[in-house]
Copies of this chain bind each other. A is one copy, B any other.
Amino acid sequence: MSTVTFSPLYRQIRERLVHSLHEGEWRPGELIPSEGELAQRYGVSQGTVRKAIDALAADNLLVRRQGRGTFVASHQEQLAQFRFLRLRPDEGDPRQPASRFIDCRRLRAPVEIARALQLKPGETVVVIRRLLEFDGAPTVLEEIWLPGVLFRGLSAERLNAYTGPLYGLLETEFGVRMIRASERVKAVAAGADEAPLLRVDPGEPLLLVVRISSTYGDRPVEVRHGWYLTREHHYANELN
């Protein structure tokens, strides 16, 4: 008759760990307690804690390092720099792009943005526009929409003062950590806005990448529109 929702112990432990991460008990880059300690704390065996941590490591919430311990994943790490940016050069090794901020404004959310961010219509959002350049060549134009409430002090000065990945800044300065994203990719013709910034003629084919990023609990906290120039780059994807 009724559907019993059976939840194994290790999943409950996983949820409690996610909760602690969400609360900030252990912050990005920090060491979490050893498996043995956590087992005691939750009153389960080490193997059960292990399985919970395995799941979180597979989801890139935690990082295991043999002999050292288990750490909270961070966008400041060099490793995960290219986890979200899938653009790669057609030839040669991936390079770190330079980020040039164009502007940063606060305004009332347009309807589609409000819907994607689960905000009430008219709530304040921050819009950042920036260019990513590879070897001085502008290659990606991005328009980044964030809920105003979560990023109060965010400004152009703040962005320019900061070196390193944007998600690192959002994580360190505002305590919002992106853990998942879904992207929709389309081919479009460069419009009057994009063309000059990317130094191409209007009509040039571009990838339009719409990303929605979420933090703990699948709460969407970023909408990003990216126009990718793919003359010498491509969007890389692995299918497993």
Distance of A209 from chain B, by nearest CB (Å) = 9
Q: Given the complex, which residues of B lie within 8 Å of A203, measured CB to CB?
A: 203
Q: Given the complex, which residues of B lie within 8 Å of A2, measured CB to CB?
A: none
A239 interface residue (CB < 8 Å to B): yes
**Number of copies of this protein chain within its complex:** 2
| B84 touching A234, Cβ below 8 Å | no
Contact of A237 among B83, B86, B230, B240 (CB under 8 A): B86
| B182 touching A238, Cβ below 8 Å | yes
| B83 touching A230, Cβ below 8 Å | no
- Provided the pairs A205-B189, A205-B205, A205-B206 are in contact, do residues A184 and B84 lie with their beta carbons within 8 angstroms? no
| B184 touching A236, Cβ below 8 Å | yes
A15 interface residue (CB < 8 Å to B): no
Q: Given the complex, which residues of B lie within 8 Å of A59, measured CB to CB?
A: 240
A residues 32-86 touching B (CB-CB < 8 Å): 59-60, 83-84, 86
A181 interface residue (CB < 8 Å to B): yes
- Provided the pairs A84-B239, A240-B59, A240-B60 are in contact, do residues A230 and B182 lie with their beta carbons within 8 angstroms? no
Q: Given the complex, which residues of B lie within 8 Å of A183, measured CB to CB?
A: 236-239
Complex alpha-carbon distance, A183 and B234, angstroms? 9
Q: Given the complex, which residues of B lie within 8 Å of A189, measured CB to CB?
A: 205
Extra 18 A-B pairs, beta carbons < 8 Å, given A60-B240, A210-B234? A180-B239, A181-B239, A183-B238, A184-B235, A184-B236, A184-B237, A185-B185, A185-B207, A185-B235, A185-B236, A186-B230, A186-B234, A187-B187, A187-B205, A187-B207, A188-B205, A205-B206, A207-B207
